[in-house]
Amino acid sequence: MPWRKLGRIYMPDGQRGWAQSHASVPIADHVAEDRYRIYFTTRDGRNRSHVGWCEININKPEQVLAESEDPVLAPGKLGAFDMDGVMASTMVRFGEERRLYYIGWNRAFGVPFRNCIGLAVRQTADGPFERLFDGPVLDRGPSDPYFLASHDIVVDGASWHIWYLSGLDWIPGDPPGSTYNLRYAVSEDGITWQRHGTVAVDFAHRNEIAIARPTVVRDGDLWRMWYCYRGTNFPYRIGYAESDDAVTWTRRDASAGIVASETGWDNEMVCYPNVFDHGGQLYMLYNGNGYGASGIGLAILE
Provide the pLDDT confidence category of residue 126 given band limits of 50, 70 and 90: confident
Please say whether the beta carbons of 250 and 281 come within 8 A: no
Round to whole Å and give the CA distance between 198 and 200.
Answer: 6
Domain count for the chain, please give it. 1
Name the nearest CA neighbour of 292 among 5, 8, 7: 8
**153: pLDDT strictly greater than 90:** yes
Q: Mean pLDDT over residues 138-164, rounded?
A: 97
**1: pLDDT strictly greater than 80:** no
Round to whole Å and give the CA distance between 272 and 283.
Answer: 14
Residue 40: what pLDDT?
A: 98
Q: Vertex 245, ends 241 and 251: CA angle to 5°?
A: 15
Please say whether the beta carbons of 254 and 239 come within 8 A: no
Residue type, 230: R
Domain that holds residue 267: 3-301
SS3 category, 269: coil
Query: Which tens digits make up the pLDDT trace of 210-228?
Result: 999 999 999 999 999 999 9
Query: Which tens digits make up the pLDDT trace of 238-255?
Result: 999 999 999 999 999 999
Q: Beta strands of the chain (E only): which ranges?
A: 3-10, 21-32, 35-43, 49-57, 60-67, 85-94, 97-107, 113-122, 130-131, 148-156, 159-171, 177-187, 193-201, 208-219, 222-231, 234-243, 250-251, 271-278, 281-287, 296-301
Q: Mean pLDDT over residues 194-208, rounded?
A: 97
Name the nearest CA neighbour of 132 among 121, 117, 145, 148: 121
Residue 237: what pLDDT?
A: 98
Q: Vertex 128, ends 125 and 131: CA angle to 5°?
A: 120
Please say whether the beta carbons of 4 and 302 come within 8 A: yes
Query: Which tens digits make up the pLDDT trace of 50-106?
Result: 999 999 999 999 999 999 999 999 999 999 999 999 999 999 999 889 999 999 999
Name the nearest CA neighbour of 114 among 85, 72, 153, 73: 85
Q: What is the CATH number of the domain that holds 60?
A: 2.115.10.20
Round to whole Å and give the CA distance between 248 and 57.
Answer: 36
